[in-house]
Amino acid sequence: MIPVRGFEDQTVAVLGMGRSGLATARALEAGGTHVVVWDDTPQTRERAEAEGFACRDLRDPTAFEDVACLVVSPGIPHLYPQPNAAVAAALEAGVPVDNDIGLFFRSLATDDWDGFDRAPRVVAVTGSNGKSTTSALIDHVLRAAGRECQLAGNIGRGALDIDPPGDGGVVVLELSSYQTELARALTPDVAVFTNLTPDHLDRHAGMGGYFAAKRRLFAEGGPDRAVIGVDEIEGRYMAGQLAEGRADDRVIRVASGCKLTGPGWLVYARKGFLTEWRKGRQVASIDLRDIKGLPGAHNHQNACSAFGALRALGLGPREIETGLRSFEGLPHRSQLVGERGGVRFVNDSKATNVDAALQALRAFPRIRWVCGGLMKDGGLAGLHPALDHVAKAYVIGREPEVFARDLPGTEAVLCGDMATAVAQAAAEAEPGDVVLLAPAAASFDQYDNFEARGADFIAQVRAVLG
C-alpha cells in the first residue's frame, strides 16, 4: 500500500466504493487521514461500513463543511454528460476534486528514496487501444530481465494498493482517459501514448475533449521521455508540441505499417519487423512475425510502444527481444484459446469498439467471426475495409439482426448466444481458419463485462474441443 500524504488529521471524502475506491480509502487512512465514504449502491456502502469506514451522504450540500478533498472513482462522471450529484455538491462548496492517480503521484516518493542508489521510476501508458497489452508487455519484459516491477492502475491492482517500490523499482500504470482527465498530479518518468480512436465521447463531450484528457499526461506531467504513437494526426500533433526540434530524443515517435524518417528517436513496425532508428541510423531490428503472443499489426504497434518505453528505461534491444518472445498475451486480447485440425480459436473480447475489432480482423487472413452485442454509436462502417477477411459471421447479442444488417456482402448467421455461435463456427471451420471472438460491441446486453463474455467464449471452445 502507498499511504496517502498531505491530508494528515484532515477529512477526505471518497466517492465510489469499488476496487479503486476501497484501496483509496485504505491508503488515506494509512496516511493519517479521517475518511468518509459514499456509494449510490446500498450493498456497496454496507461492504465499506463492514471495513470500518463511515458513510456520509455526499449528495447533501452540507456534507462538505469539514472536507478537504473529494476523491472520485474513475467511472463516476464529474463534468460530462453531467456531474454526479456528489461531485456537483463538492464543486458548489469549493472543495477540490481528485482521484487515486493524483493521490498516487503526490504520495509515491518518500524519505527512504534518499538512500536508494537508483530512484524508482514510473511508466504511465494511455491511448484508445492497446494500452493494456503495452503496459503488460513493459511489465513482462522488465520482470524477464530481472528488474523489480509492479503493474497497476486500469489493469491489475489499484495504484495505491501496490507496495512501495524499492531501489531501482519500476511501476507501470495503465491509465484511461477517465483517470488522466481528473488527476491533480501527473508526474511519470516515461509516458506512452499508443493511439487515438473515437471512444467515450459522451463522457468527454466529443473527440476534442477525449484527446485533451489523454494529452494532460504529457502536457501537465512533463515526463523525462514521451513515447508517442504517430499513426494518427493527434499523435503527430502532440509529438510536435513536446519536441524542441526534429532531433529532440526526449520524444520517441512510434508507428505501425509505415517507415519513419528523420534525425530523431524512431521506432516503427513494417512488414512484421520492428526497427529502431536514432540520430539517423538504424540501431536495432526484431522479427515479430513468429511471436505468438503478438499477432497482427495492432500488436506490432503495441510492441513498438513497449520497446520505446523499455529503451527509455535503459534496457538493450536483445534484452527486450528475449522478453517479447516469452510474452503469452493477455486474457481477452488476441488470446489463443486452443487449436484443432489447423483451426485456431482466438479470444479478443476486449475488442469492444469498431477500431479494435478492425485491427483484430486484419490480423488473420480467413476468419469465422463471432461478433455482436450492444452496438455503439456510429455503426460498423469502420469495419468494412476488413470484411474480406471474414468467411462468415456468427452474430450474438439480443438484437443480432441489427448488427448483421450493417455487414454488407458478408455471410452472417443469427446465433444469438455464444454456445450456438461457437459450435456452428467450429463445425464449419476449415484448416487455416481462425474462429475469432472480436465483438465490435459492448457486452452489457448479455454479460456484466467483456471479461465475462470472453470467459463464456473460452468455456464454449473448450466444450467443443473436448
In a domain, 1, yes or no: no
pLDDT above 70 as % of the chain: 100
| End-to-end Cα, the chain, rounded Å | 43
In a domain, 6, yes or no: no
Please state the φ and ψ torsions of residue 117, each to the nearest 5 degrees.
-70, -35
Task: Kindly tell me if the per-residue pLDDT of 377 is higher than 80.
Answer: no
In a domain, 230, yes or no: yes
Separation between Cα atoms, residue 163 and residue 140, nearest integer Å: 18
Least confident of 52-61, 133-142, 288-297, 313-322: 288-297
pLDDT in tens, 195-207: 998 878 889 999 9
Confidence band of 297 (pLDDT split at 50, 70, 90): confident
Confidence band of 112 (pLDDT split at 50, 70, 90): confident
Confidence band of 460 (pLDDT split at 50, 70, 90): very high
Whether residue 303 contacts residue 274, with contact meaning beta carbons closer than 8 Å, is answered with: yes
Confidence band of 331 (pLDDT split at 50, 70, 90): confident
Confidence band of 242 (pLDDT split at 50, 70, 90): very high
pLDDT of residue 328: 84
Task: Kindly tell me if the per-residue pLDDT of 413 is higher than 90.
Answer: yes
Separation between Cα atoms, residue 268 and residue 285, nearest integer Å: 10
- Provide the number of structural domains found in the chain: 3
* Same domain, yes or no: 375 and 457: yes
Separation between Cα atoms, residue 332 and residue 454, nearest integer Å: 6
pLDDT of residue 461: 98
pLDDT in tens, 24-76: 999 999 999 999 999 999 999 999 999 999 999 999 989 999 999 999 999 89
Q: What is the mean pLDDT of residues 394-404?
A: 94
Look at residues 2, 39, 33, 1 and name the one whose alpha carbon lies nearest to residue 18.
Answer: 39
In a domain, 456, yes or no: yes
More confident residue, 156 or 155: 155
* Same domain, yes or no: 81 and 195: no
At a CB cut-off of 8 Å and minimum separation 6, what does 335 contact? 329, 346, 347, 348, 454
Mean of pLDDT over the chain: 95
* Same domain, yes or no: 355 and 217: no
Least confident of 68-72, 133-137, 152-156, 407-411: 152-156
410 is in an annotated binding site: no
The CATH number of the domain where 440 resides is what? 3.90.190.20
Q: What is the DSSP letter of 386?
A: G
Separation between Cα atoms, residue 384 and residue 372, nearest integer Å: 15
Q: What is the DSSP letter of 171?
A: E
Q: What is the DSSP letter of 184?
A: S
Q: Among residues 73, 98, 123, which one ends one of the domains?
A: 98
Q: Among residues 98, 116, 138, which one ends one of the domains?
A: 98
The CATH number of the domain where 292 resides is what? 3.40.1190.10
Binning the chain into helix, strand and coil, the percentages to the nearest 5 are: 35, 25, 40
127 is in an annotated binding site: yes
* Same domain, yes or no: 184 and 141: yes
Task: Kindly tell me if the per-residue pLDDT of 281 is higher than 90.
Answer: yes
Task: Kindly tell me if the per-residue pLDDT of 329 is higher than 90.
Answer: no
pLDDT of residue 115: 92
* Same domain, yes or no: 256 and 384: no
Q: What is the mean pLDDT of residues 405-423?
A: 96
Separation between Cα atoms, residue 251 and residue 247, nearest integer Å: 9
* Same domain, yes or no: 319 and 428: no
128 is in an annotated binding site: yes
Separation between Cα atoms, residue 120 and residue 167, nearest integer Å: 6
In a domain, 303, yes or no: yes
In a domain, 3, yes or no: no
Confidence band of 314 (pLDDT split at 50, 70, 90): very high
* Same domain, yes or no: 89 and 120: no
At a CB cut-off of 8 Å and minimum separation 6, what does 174 contact? 125, 126, 131, 132, 134, 135, 151, 152, 153, 154, 155, 156
* Same domain, yes or no: 269 and 136: yes
Task: Kindly tell me if the per-residue pLDDT of 459 is higher than 90.
Answer: yes
All three cell numbers of 202: 459522451
More confident residue, 316 or 330: 316
The CATH number of the domain where 64 resides is what? 3.40.50.720
Task: Kindly tell me if the per-residue pLDDT of 240 is higher than 90.
Answer: yes
Pairing of strands 412-416, 434-437: unpaired
In a domain, 142, yes or no: yes
Give the alpha-carbon dihedral of 306, 292, 349, 299, to 10 degrees: 30
Whether residue 269 contacts residue 288, with contact meaning beta carbons closer than 8 Å, is answered with: yes
Separation between Cα atoms, residue 165 and residue 309, nearest integer Å: 18
Q: What is the DSSP letter of 289?
A: T
DSSP 390-430: EEEEEEESS-HHHHHTTSTT--EEEEESHHHHHHHHHHH--
pLDDT of residue 298: 87
133 is in an annotated binding site: yes
392 is in an annotated binding site: no
Give residue 91's domain range: 11-98
Separation between Cα atoms, residue 63 and residue 36, nearest integer Å: 10
214 is in an annotated binding site: no
Task: Kindly tell me if the per-residue pLDDT of 164 is higher than 90.
Answer: yes
* Same domain, yes or no: 166 and 216: yes
Look at residues 368, 79, 52, 91 and name the one whose alpha carbon lies nearest to residue 212.
Answer: 79
Q: Among residues 55, 72, 98, which one ends one of the domains?
A: 98
132 is in an annotated binding site: yes
* Same domain, yes or no: 136 and 24: no
Separation between Cα atoms, residue 106 and residue 110, nearest integer Å: 10
In a domain, 26, yes or no: yes
pLDDT above 90 as % of the chain: 88
Cis before 83 (ω within 30) = no
DSSP 291-345: -TTS-HHHHHHHHHHHHHHHHHTT--HHHHHHHHHT---BTTBSEEEEEETTEEE
* Same domain, yes or no: 319 and 339: no
* Same domain, yes or no: 73 and 170: no
Confidence band of 466 (pLDDT split at 50, 70, 90): confident
